[in-house]
């Protein structure tokens, strides 16, 4: 992406609209980022490594999921598998965004992949429910992505650098949980996601005693299985209803 392209994006009204639509979630994203930054620093990770992880990985759920495993000395394959399972949703996001961005150069699409996020996906799909390319979609995405990236990285880096100055008595862990709950609840918009969430919570609590925080991995696997099964059942039910209506006519 060239400098003229970036300037054009910044001047586009859709860019400002995307950033504006993300304003309501920036506080929650910032709290989540601050908690993650503090957690990385207090886990014993070196300052350069923590900064690298924040900037390169840029996936709060995966970072928080693997940190307890790394502290507990879990095998590398467990850490990688957990991070992969947590980030599987981005495969779904990418498949849905393909209808909007398939015409873009590969380098541009790779950049979109790095900057994509849960809240950006929700905001984008609400704004553009029909999977048809439109000129305002790319600047809108970049406006939302820029706001989300800054809302995450600035507090995350602050948490890494100032971790020793932030007392545990502030209860940032609980604040992070509240931020995550707020973001999660905004994404529960159908039966499949509600079911997957309930299954994940139940599985995580039921397997809490497993070593190496493996209950996280069990909860992810159970939630993905339940969500896919629910979506398959809903599709089968719709097909059955369609055939029934066709038979009546």
pLDDT score of 1: 60
**Which pLDDT does position 161 carry in this prediction?**
93
Helices (H), 47-136: 47-56, 60-71, 76-86, 89-101, 106-115, 118-127
Question: What is the DSSP-derived secondary structure letter of residue 192?
Answer: H
Q: What per-residue string of b and e applies to 116-131 under the rule 16 or more CB within 10 Å gives b?
A: bbbbbbbbbeebbeee
The pLDDT value recorded for residue 35 is: 84
Whose tokens are 């609400």? That residue is 126
pLDDT tens track, the chain, 249 positions: 666 776 777 788 999 999 999 987 888 888 888 888 988 888 888 999 999 999 998 988 888 888 888 888 888 888 888 888 878 778 878 888 999 999 999 999 999 999 998 889 888 988 998 889 998 999 999 999 999 999 999 999 999 998 888 766 666 666 666 666 776 777 777 888 899 899 999 999 999 988 767 787 788 888 888 988 998 898 898 888 888 876 655
Quick one: pLDDT at residue 249?
Answer: 57
Q: How far is CA 41 from CA 3, 25, 71, 83, 144, in A?
A: 35, 25, 12, 19, 28
Distance, CA of 137 to CA of 24 (rounded, Å): 20
Q: What pLDDT score does 138 carry?
A: 93
CA neighbor of 62 nearest in space, from 34, 42, 81, 35 = 81
pLDDT at position 174: 66
The pTM (predicted TM-score) of the whole model is 0.74
Tokens of 143: 């406006």
pLDDT at 179: 66
CA atoms 189, 192, 194, 200: torsion sign:
negative
């Amino acid at each position: 992406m060239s400098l003229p392209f970036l300037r054009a994006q910044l001047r586009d009204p859709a860019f400002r609209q995307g950033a504006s639509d993300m304003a309501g979630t920036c506080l929650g994203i910032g709290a989540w980022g601050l908690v993650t930054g503090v957690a990385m620093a207090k886990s014993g990770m070196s300052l350069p490594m923590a900064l690298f992880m924040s900037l390169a990985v840029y996936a709060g759920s995966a970072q928080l999921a693997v940190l307890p495993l790394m502290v507990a000395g879990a095998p590398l394959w467990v850490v990688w598998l957990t991070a992969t399972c947590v980030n599987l949703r981005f495969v779904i996001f990418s498949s849905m965004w393909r209808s909007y961005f398939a015409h873009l150069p590969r380098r541009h699409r790779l950049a979109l992949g790095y900057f994509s996020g849960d809240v950006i996906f929700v905001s984008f799909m609400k704004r553009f429910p029909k999977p048809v390319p439109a000129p305002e979609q790319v600047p809108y995405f970049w406006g939302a992505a820029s706001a989300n990236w800054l809302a995450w990285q600035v507090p995350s880096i602050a948490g890494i650098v100032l971790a020793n100055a932030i007392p545990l008595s502030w209860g940032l862990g609980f604040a992070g949980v509240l931020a995550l709950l707020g973001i999660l609840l905004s994404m529960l918009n159908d039966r499949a996601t509600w079911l997957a969430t309930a299954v994940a919570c139940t599985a995580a609590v039921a397997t809490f005693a497993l070593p190496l925080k493996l209950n996280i991995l069990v909860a992810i696997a159970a939630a993905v299985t339940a969500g896919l099964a629910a979506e398959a059942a809903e599709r089968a039910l719709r097909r059955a209803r369609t055939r029934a209506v066709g038979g009546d006519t």
